[in-house]
Amino acid sequence: MRRSPAHRPLLATLKGERQSIPPMWLMRQAGRYLPEYRALRAEKGGFLAMALDPESACEITLQPIRRFGFDGAILFSDILTVPMALGQDLWFETGEGPRLAPPLADGAAIDALTPGAPDTLDPVYAAVEKIAGVLPPEVTFLGFAGSPWTVATYMIAGQGSRTQEAARRLAYGDAAAMQRLIDRIVATTIEYLARQHESGVEAVQLFDSWAGTLSPEQFERWVIAPNAAIVAGLRARCPELVIIGFPKGAGAKLVDYATQTGVDAVGVDETVAPEWAARALPAGMPVQGNLDPLALIAGGDTLARAVDRILAAFADRPHVFNLGHGILPDTPIAHVEALIDRVRGTR
């Protein structure tokens, strides 16, 4: 579904047009900090049930747009839908996060993985079509997927991990097996994001949440190369699709990521000095970020100073104001409102 022509400040910025007031959206902007989300979750059930129900996914995607008037709406879904399409079972343990089975502990388990049913991700595309049909015309519609390294870490361990040790051990101990898994994730992700675009999204973000755990050599192989392959595949199939890359924790390796993957824009996490990013990243490249989610929780002068620093650092390039990572569940609504006012200059 293609939406009617309209000026969308976020989409224009991601294409390289600098705005006098940077457009805004927040990672995880649809979620637990919103009372309307909590009410719907209590009614509908768990996270996955809502993410795979087009009506619920549509409603949750729209909630922060109605409340705050953000410039971008991001699809309510999860990065672990791709493992479902590849044949793993996915569920969420209350208070503990996602679980995937069977864990892919070695090359034999990777090779034994059987793709899921062809219609596994159809509810996601149905949600995209529904959302695209009702979004305000000035709002950019964002889709997303997890990047191959991050998705692989969950598939190998069967759950989240702060160190990603199981995936890193496999990458060093059996690089060929890891490459086979990464290649399968790349191919599925290209199809997944192309289908999102064909159903109505206008830009996509590649989340590499665990990119910061890798050495420079491993980062080159398991972050830069797979993301470059996804970008190339999407360019061939969807040349007008805008792509944001977000390699959290990349630090100084962010420059190589920005120059070698082919993404249109790069997300910057809260650990990166915005002044350094403004100097080091390619001239004219749109940048997204990078307010610390905890500064948003702190509010007051702390929030105001952090916002002003980011705005000043990125004043001379296309900039999308966002967090350095996802909004936290205990974030006060009033602080989000203060953030919007500060960025848009009404306070």
Q: Determine the Cα–Cα distance for residues 144 and 78; give it in Å rounded to an integer.
A: 8
Q: Determine the Cα–Cα distance for residues 157 and 325; give it in Å rounded to an integer.
A: 23
Q: Which tokens go with 62?
A: 């729209």
Q: Determine the Cα–Cα distance for residues 273 and 303; give it in Å rounded to an integer.
A: 16
| Alpha-carbon distance values, 287 to 24, 121, 177, 235, 320 (Å) | 12, 30, 34, 20, 6
The catalytic residue positions are 28, 32, 41, 78, 154
**Parallel, antiparallel, or unpaired: how do β-strands 140-146 and 97-101 relate?**
unpaired
One-letter amino acid at 48 equals L
CA 324 remoteness from chain centre: 11
| Alpha-carbon distance values, 289 to 123, 323, 328 (Å) | 30, 5, 16
Residue 245 sits at the vertex; the CA angle it makes with 25 and 125, to the nearest 5 degrees, is 70
> Which of these, 230, 242, 109, 249, lies nearest to 167 by C-alpha position?
109
